[in-house]
Structure 1
């Protein structure tokens, strides 16, 4: 599922992070009105997919510079750092373990990190605890151990049921494996299961994408994420496009794929609650990602992980060895940070909240932004009835143009 705590391979510039990780007073203002989440980044992968631009490493790339054990020791040390910086008194609403491939490290390390978060902060009684998993490194024993540890939600990268499409994407799992894992997750008692799809892979046919959607629907999962293929600079896939080996994704095809996904998923009882995400019930929506989209607080654990607390954003050093070394020396692993001003925070709020089914309040827009909202409603991109009630809510047409509409409303 979409996880905006994802760790890109290139990190931005910013101001220095204090060695003790301390935060300015701004970060504490209004904290009682915001939820607290943790994102845990597992930087290991068995192989690198051709489209992937995340901060991940194969064993061959890391060599002896870092290991799952050194990562675990450092991650536990960062939980302690978070407890010193944030203090007591705030329970944790959601935890999301992403990567990379969390299932590669097994249940025991993930359980230890979750236990540490619970001991230092306390998990809310209804906490949502999610992990991503690769179908090939997941089996019933792993799922049973994770469920026993308190994990409630599982997210699997299916991407496609077409072997040919998976080959183009450099995905190593067989199409049916993810569907087997869905069945095992249900048997082990996971409350929510998500399947990810990617559409617009070069050469993908309408029939192949329709078959993928049909398989997802038939699996019975209560959450589906569907993303258009994004060609990130520096990836193996980008080099294939540059050499003309593969054609670039066609924008019209991508739009048609999205419309098809929405039609079939909605018809099967899965309803959009964010532009790229559909859930069977409101409870099936990913609360962790909703925390990102609504500007709540989260602390990112792991190399390259991003954090946000009260308008202060920082990101850790990228390499697992550098990350572990800093924490072993008692220093924050933060590489840099930025303190967002009111205009920056308003812009982010518009860009993220507009993607949600509930949209955003017109009262938070400037007069120019409200004027653009009326124009967007007139051309069918925003819901006119919702606009009359004081909210900017995307229509199906508007979802295809969401980023551009958000930028105009943020003026």
Structure 2
């Protein structure tokens, strides 16, 4: 979640949603995202809404679980008051920041509040992100006992000089240990990687892939490093201290990762995500990509229900003040017009292995499909079956493919 919030309409203090949000709601799944905005140190590449201890302006980490409980109670009132049907949470995701900087019992307490307010669907997926140095075996066992089913470790790299450039503080030799603890607790394991860090070679990237695949994860995410304006890394690049990421090298790194993951039995299901089976895909993230409903709890968290999108105030102190006053913590809101929702659907579903039905494209977009096949960017067999599915070169150029599929305004 980027640190800069969009500009849109003011959000009503009571949070109530328009009648349009009810349309089709019984057919949509409901999820909960909890944004825990705390980090021990700020990584130089990170543009997420996170805060170190010295930036909290009097707000305390130990109060956060109570703040989240208050927003969950508010969410229950808003959804009921807006006429939305009662739906149990099919997925719950704790992101950040570093959620596991909070004690495990605080995370369990917040999951309990989700269960109390909404219920959990049978087989609900419950995930927390974690840094390898922010959790231990006892904490992972407590989370599993509380109902967590997955943990996503931020590995990023197995190469010390790459981690230093990213300002990551964990010891890569600890990763096998925490993965072992998670497995002993009965949790599925996802590992997150970043490629294209300044100074990272293809050999470095191969080392990271080898280290991750040796752990036989259930799921892997691999993201190309994006240098965000205003970050410490952007300043270092601008000053010439480190080089800019190399697009061609990043493409080679993606090709190598996809090849190695496939050999290890991990199949891509979204441009930057691979899973050992359909059952190991991140159902919570799939809900984002397919336009389901979710309520985002926490400072700066984003929500979406029935084509209405809103986002909370960013700072934990401002967030707390609104909840204490009984007001919505939302900073802004927008109701998406049908044409905007159609564009977003093309943008997001094109990135999925299941692809986008050709029938959802405007005539101008449909006429582009043959050219995309000829350019090797779209799978011909899938297109003849009525779906736009990216080839590996197409995944590297996903944004360019989408631009060709969308009609020119």
User: Scaled by the length of structure 1, what TM-score is found?
Assistant: 0.97
2:67 partner SS: helix
Which structure 1 residue ranges, 5 or more long, are not aligned? 1-6
1:94 to 2:88 alignment: no
Which structure 2 residue ranges, 5 or more long, are not aligned? none
In 1, the alpha carbon distance for the partners of 2:26 and 2:161 equals 50
- Who is 1:369 aligned against? 365
In 2, the alpha carbon distance for the partners of 1:12 and 1:157 equals 27
In 2, the alpha carbon distance for the partners of 1:109 and 1:410 equals 45
Which residue of the other structure, out of 330, 337, 344, is the alignment partner of 2:333?
Answer: 337
Residues 78, 327 of structure 1: 8 Å contact kept:
yes
1:287 to 2:283 alignment: yes
In 1, the alpha carbon distance for the partners of 2:403 and 2:299 equals 31
Which residue of the other structure, out of 48, 68, 75, is the alignment partner of 2:68?
Answer: 75
Deviations 1:325-372 (A, max 9, x none): 000000000000010001100010010001000101011100001011
Which residue of the other structure, out of 220, 223, 230, is the alignment partner of 1:224?
Answer: 220
Residues 158, 208 of structure 2: 8 Å contact kept:
yes
1:60 to 2:57 alignment: no
Residues 223, 270 of structure 1: 8 Å contact kept:
yes
Residues 62, 102 of structure 2: 8 Å contact kept:
no
In 2, the alpha carbon distance for the partners of 1:61 and 1:46 equals 11
In 2, the alpha carbon distance for the partners of 1:136 and 1:47 equals 12
Which residue of the other structure, out of 301, 307, 313, is the alignment partner of 2:309?
Answer: 313
In 1, the alpha carbon distance for the partners of 2:70 and 2:56 equals 21
2:365 partner SS: helix
Which residue of the other structure, out of 126, 129, 132, is the alignment partner of 2:126?
Answer: 129
Residues 70, 324 of structure 1: 8 Å contact kept:
no
Residues 386, 393 of structure 1: 8 Å contact kept:
yes
In 2, the alpha carbon distance for the partners of 1:62 and 1:323 equals 11
Residues 202, 249 of structure 2: 8 Å contact kept:
no
Residues 45, 100 of structure 1: 8 Å contact kept:
yes
Residues 88, 121 of structure 2: 8 Å contact kept:
yes
User: Scaled by the length of structure 2, what TM-score is found?
Assistant: 0.97
* Deviation (angstroms), 1:386: 0.8
Residues 157, 178 of structure 1: 8 Å contact kept:
no
Residues 226, 277 of structure 1: 8 Å contact kept:
yes
User: 296-305 or 83-92, which moves further after superposition?
Assistant: 83-92
* Deviation (angstroms), 1:71: 2.3
Aligned length: 403
* Deviation (angstroms), 1:18: 0.9
In 2, the alpha carbon distance for the partners of 1:138 and 1:325 equals 30
1:50 partner SS: coil
Deviations 1:290-321 (A, max 9, x none): 00000000000000000000110000000000
In 1, the alpha carbon distance for the partners of 2:181 and 2:62 equals 28
Which residue of the other structure, out of 16, 30, 47, is the alignment partner of 1:22?
Answer: 16
- Who is 1:139 aligned against? 136
Please give the residue correspondences for 1:190-269 in structure 2 after superposition, counting only pairs within 5 Å: 190=187, 192-269=188-265
Structural RMSD (CA): 0.9
